[in-house]
């Protein structure tokens, strides 16, 4: 079974996503194959949850059961054709900071040609860049939601590596406060 753009389905039509999970995926028997591919569309919904479970299993080094999903991520920087050899491309200070954070936090080294292409694509894609050309799975899923408050500011903070997941103890209470 192949399911395409499941992330988009989950966000735009959760009822259809639920039917895919409870209907189609329930027909899969051990030993059969399912491929689900999608651009990530935020950090909620069935697609996100399935990916997070698969990532957790991989991170813990557990073997997969015959009904577990294997997580695959194909980062843009591994695609050999995603380069632009052009000395006229302007790399902004923000973009330079983003490239430094990729290297420092994820050991991702980009060539000048890769940086050039990324910069030109970012001009075109703008706030959709991290969704369409993510460098890491976290970057793909942790997107500001279109129409959300502070979308541009949150996207900028993510590009600069100023956002991270923080482990917490569920036995302790957590208080949050927000002010728009």
DSSP 8-state assignment for residue 26 = G
Residue 149: what pLDDT? 57
* Average confidence (pLDDT) over 165-175: 81
- Would the pLDDT of 179 be above 80? no
Domain borders along the chain are: 2-60, 76-159
Give residue 138's pLDDT: 86
| Segment 65-106, tens digit of pLDDT | 888 899 999 998 999 999 999 989 999 998 999 999 999 999
Express each pLDDT in 131-153 by its tens digit. Answer: 888 999 888 887 645 555 566 67
The answer to whether the predicted template modeling score (pTM) of the entire model surpasses 0.85 is no
The residues with which 108 forms a beta bridge, in sequence order, are none
Element (H, E) at 35: strand 35-37
In b/e form, how buried is each residue of 1-10, taking b as 16+ CB within 10 angstroms?
A: eebeebbbbb
Alpha helix segments (H runs only) across the chain = 6-12, 14-19, 46-60, 93-106, 112-125, 129-132, 137-141, 151-159
Taking every pair of Cα atoms in the chain, the longest distance, rounded to a whole number of angstroms, is 55
Rounded CA-CA distance 159/101 in Å is 8
* 3-state secondary structure (DSSP) of residue 1: coil
Please give the distance of CA 113 from its chain centroid, rounded to a whole number: 23
């Amino acid at each position: 079974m192949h399911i395409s753009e499941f992330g988009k389905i989950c966000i735009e039509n959760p009822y259809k996503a639920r039917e895919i999970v409870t209907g189609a995926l329930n027909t899969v028997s051990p030993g059969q194959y399912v491929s689900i591919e999608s651009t990530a569309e935020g950090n909620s919904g069935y697609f996100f949850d399935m990916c997070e479970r698969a990532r957790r299993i991989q991170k813990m080094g557990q073997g997969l059961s015959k009904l577990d999903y294997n997580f695959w991520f194909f980062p843009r920087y591994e695609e050999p054709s995603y380069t632009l050899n052009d000395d006229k491309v302007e790399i902004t200070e923000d973009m330079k900071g983003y490239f430094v954070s990729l290297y420092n936090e994820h050991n991702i080294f980009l060539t000048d040609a890769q940086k050039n292409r990324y910069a030109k694509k970012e001009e075109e894609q703008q706030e959709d860049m991290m969704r369409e050309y993510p460098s890491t799975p976290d970057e793909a899923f942790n997107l500001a939601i279109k129409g959300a408050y502070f979308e541009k500011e949150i996207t900028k903070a993510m590009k600069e590596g100023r956002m991270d997941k923080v482990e917490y103890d569920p036995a302790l209470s957590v208080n949050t406060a927000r002010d728009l």
